Amino acid sequence: MAKGIGALKIRELENLFVPILRNCKNMEKLKKYHALIIKYSLSQSSFLVTKMVDVCDYCEDMNYVGLLFKQVIEPNAFLYNAMIRAYTHNSIYDLAITFYKQMLRQNSQRSKNPIFPDEFTFPFVVKSCARLVFHNLGKQVHSHVFKFGPKSHPITENALIDMYAKCDNLLDAHKLFDGMDERDAISWNSIISGHVRLGQMRKARAVFDAMPNRTIVSWTAMISGYARIGSYAEALDMFRRMQVVGIEPDEASIVSVLPACAQLGALDVGKWIHMYCGRNGLLRRTNICNALIEMYTKCGCVDPACQLFDHMRERDVISWSTMIAGMANHGKAREAIAMFEIMKKTKIKPNGITFLGLLSACAHAGFWQEGLMYFDTMRKDFRIEPEIEHYGSLVDILGRAGCLVQALDIIEKMPVKPDSKIWGSLLSSCKTYCNIEIAVIAMEQLEKFEPDDTGNYVLLSNIYADLGKWEDVSRMRKLIRSKSMKKTPGCSLIEVNNVVQEFVSGDHSKPFSKDIIWLLELLAFNQDIAQYIIEIMPEDGCE
């Protein structure tokens, strides 16, 4: 048998193994085929080793890939490309770049059979540079594209645009984009995403409006970009426009728009998204359920959030943390604590956000002893180092309990520099307990952070007034007038017939503002009418 096979040409032997390797889907079989390839003296065949590398890429066994490559004395360009592609697919970007450099070195060392990178090499090398944010190396690879060619290759050009965008070099990204012979959706989306990444939504919108054929990726980039910079109304408007042109939401667009619904209180849109996800089988996705839970809790609807949480197939740390925070924000401190205790019995380890919600629950309910206990638990039992937000919650807990001296001691000893929120929380607690000594200390610090914030001066003035120190009250009022400070007007949002209305204190420009003021005054003076309106309001499960 050996003699018969030995008479066959090498190419014919390779062709025997190609369909076998192409259909191979697991490493156990591959190793058996590899043994046969070695047996028939084909271990130096770059063609067959390339096919085996592709199998390893599919099976995500990158350790075996390295062993395969080492056995080849003179690898060719196809094998190098396969190695670079496999490492890129498996997110081992540094090794992909290492093999590219090795490929170039081998090219300089060989004279008879030089190896050159090509259109199958560059897209993966450039992608690795983008993921590692290696801007200078990416520019060098770009120069190699001009050196080795082809100079005009859409896939390579798209990869380069994406690399420049991810490295925040939109100038070169635009130069390449403007010089392209043919632009596809990937080219446009890369430019849009680059501007979105930097928060340049006007420029992103200009590119988006000029785009001939927008895809779901284009719309999602705009929605997430607006939501990220706090332009929630624009994000919601973009989501609605996307549906008008006939593009159905996908997982990414839904996760992007739900935070905007939460911030605007756009409950009707959030409920529609919930039903849409149910119809399209998207409620199996944990991240979508998490976003819906956050939307419901921020819109004041705890019961639907609990129901959704109870029906989730898989819960991660975000699921638990979102529910604990939602309970805390709605005065359900005992339920939040109980949920945390249940979470501890699962295999999911809490993180800093989990404890932030838990500490918030203790603060709102006045559970200062429990708050101290959980703060210590976070550090000792779970090895989570407190951040400034955790210290802020601890100060809030102690301040609400009247332990102002202890709260001030925490602030002075915390390893991170306290910010205006922490000092403001302490000042607010001083108002509750009329502690002018600590209030003055807090105000001295707040003047450094927020010298023009009227609210802080008014709060200190009120503390003086509560203590009957009218000379100090007069002094504070003169200080406010001398600085010409203006108080930031209050603002509220409400959704009516799928339109989010914004109301600013002192602004009577709304055409129906007089009617609203009249109704509010009526409700304020007539409790019977107010109670009647509450009783006839439709029940939607919201608190």
Token readout for 353 is 């956000």
Give 158 or 13, the one with higher predicted confidence: 158
pLDDT digits over 217-255, tens only?
A: 999 999 999 999 999 999 999 999 999 999 999 999 999
pLDDT digits over 34-90, tens only?
A: 999 998 888 888 889 999 999 999 999 999 999 999 999 889 999 999 999 999 999
Give pLDDT, residue 541. 46
Give pLDDT, residue 506. 63
Q: Mention every residue, 6+ apart, whose C-beta is less than 8 A from residue 287.
A: 251, 255, 318
pLDDT band at 411 (very low <50, low <70, confident <90, very high): very high
Helix axes 352-365 and 368-380, enclosed angle (nearest 10): 170
Quote the pTM value: 0.79
d(CA 65, CA 60): 9
d(CA 332, CA 344): 19
d(CA 380, CA 382): 6
HEC secondary structure over 231-266 = CHHHHHHHHHHHHHCCCCCCHHHHHHHHHHHHHHCC
Mean pLDDT of 460-486: 85
Instruction: Inform me whether the pLDDT recorded for 391 exceeds 50.
Output: yes
Give pLDDT, residue 535. 59
Mean pLDDT of 181-209: 94
Give 520 or 397, the one with higher predicted confidence: 397
Mean pLDDT of 204-228: 96
Q: 500 phi and psi, to 5 degrees?
A: -85, 120
- Report the DSSP pairing between strands 499-504 and 491-496: antiparallel
Mean of per-residue pLDDT scores for the chain: 88
Give pLDDT, residue 508. 66
d(CA 392, CA 424): 10
Mean pLDDT of 178-207: 94
Instruction: Inform me whether the pLDDT recorded for 532 exceeds 70.
Output: no
* Closest CA relative to residue 456, chosen from 467, 446, 465, 468: 446
Instruction: Inform me whether the pLDDT recorded for 173 exceeds 70.
Output: yes
pLDDT band at 492 (very low <50, low <70, confident <90, very high): low
d(CA 60, CA 103): 22
Give pLDDT, residue 418. 94
149: alpha, beta or left? (left if phi > 0; alpha if psi -120 to 50)? left
Cα dihedral 424, 327, 232, 504 sign: negative
Q: Is the peptide bond before 451 cis (omega within 30 degrees of 0)?
A: no
Cα angle value 385/391/397 (rounded, 5°): 130
Q: Please identify which residue in the block is written with the tokens 């929120």.
A: 421
User: Which DSSP symbol is given to 366?
Assistant: T
CB neighbours (10 Å) of residue 486? 9
Q: What Rg value do the Cα atoms of the chain yield, rounded? A: 32
Q: Mention every residue, 6+ apart, whose C-beta is less than 8 A from residue 151.
A: 145
Give pLDDT, residue 11. 75
> Lowest-pLDDT range, 39-43, 475-479, 490-494?
490-494
pLDDT digits over 93-124, tens only?
A: 999 999 999 999 887 665 567 788 999 999 99
pLDDT band at 14 (very low <50, low <70, confident <90, very high): confident
Mean pLDDT of 251-276: 95
HEC secondary structure over 426-455 = HHHHHHHHCCHHHHHHHHHHHHHHCCCCHH
Distance (Å) of CA 206 to CA 59, 156, 171, 202, 238: 43, 25, 15, 6, 14
pLDDT digits over 507-529, tens only?
A: 666 666 777 776 666 666 666 66
Instruction: Inform me whether the pLDDT recorded for 7 exceeds 60.
Output: no
Q: Which amino acid is at 292?
A: L
Q: Please identify which residue in the block is written with the tokens 């304020």.
A: 524
Give pLDDT, residue 4. 41
Identify whether the C-beta of residue 191 lies closer than 8 Å to the C-beta of residue 177.
yes
Token readout for 495 is 């959704």
DSSP 23-41: T--SHHHHHHHHHHHHHTT
Q: Mention every residue, 6+ apart, whose C-beta is less than 8 A from residue 406.
A: 398
* Closest CA relative to residue 488, chosen from 473, 477, 504: 504
Tell me the three state secondary structure of residue 491. Answer: strand
CA 190 to chain CA centroid, Å, is: 18
Token readout for 500 is 């989010």
pLDDT band at 150 (very low <50, low <70, confident <90, very high): confident
Token readout for 291 is 């976003």
